[in-house]
Amino acid sequence: MLAGFLFMWREWKKERWMVSTDPALQDVDAIHAFLRTTYWAQDIPREIVARAVRHSLCFGLFDGTAQIGLARVVTDYATFAYLCDVYVLEAYRGRGLGHWLIECVMAHPQMRELRRINLVTRDAHRIYAAFGFKPVGRPENHLELRRPDLYRRDAREG
C-alpha cells in the first residue's frame, strides 16, 4: 500500500513540453551538468546528485526527451516537503516554463496535503510568491547547519 502511494507518477503536457515525475525519465547526467555550475550546489559530485534524485520526488521538465529543467522535492509524503534544485536551462527561460513547472509541483496530489513546504532562493522570490510562498514566519525559530563549501572541498581533496 505505501509503495503505491509513494510512486504516484504524474505527467503534464503543454505544447511540446512535458513535466514528469517518472523516476525512469530523470536524466542524472543532465541534472548533474547543470547543478554542478549553480551557486547552491557548485561542484557537487555526480554520485550525490544520483542519490538525491533517487530519494526525492523529482519533477523533470522535458523538451521531447531532453531534460531542460527540474524541481526536486524532499518529503515525508505526509506533513513536510523541501522544494529545491529548481531550474530551467537558460536557453529555455522567458517562456513561462519555470512558472508552469512550479504549477505542476503544487498540483501534484502528494503536495496538496502537506502542512509545510519550505524552500530557499536567492533570486526567485517573485515566482514563488505567486504560489503563496512567503518569508519564514518566526525566523528566530528556524535553525540550520550550513556547509556551503562541502562539494568544493571534496573536489579539491579528490
- Its pTM stands at 0.90
pLDDT, residue 153, reads 63
> What's the rounded Cα separation, in Å, for the pair 37 and 52?
17
Cβ within 8 Å of residue 82, ≥6 positions away: 73, 74, 75, 117, 118, 119
pLDDT, residue 7, reads 56
pLDDT, residue 67, reads 98
> Was domain 10-136+143-157 assigned CATH 3.40.630.30?
yes
Domain ranges of the chain: 10-136+143-157
pLDDT, residue 150, reads 84
Which residues are bridge partners to 114 per DSSP? none
Question: What confidence tens digit (pLDDT) does each residue in 102-157 have?
Answer: 999 999 998 998 999 999 999 999 999 999 999 999 989 989 898 888 887 655 55
**Model confidence at 16: pLDDT above 50:** yes
> What's the rounded Cα separation, in Å, for the pair 47 and 149?
17
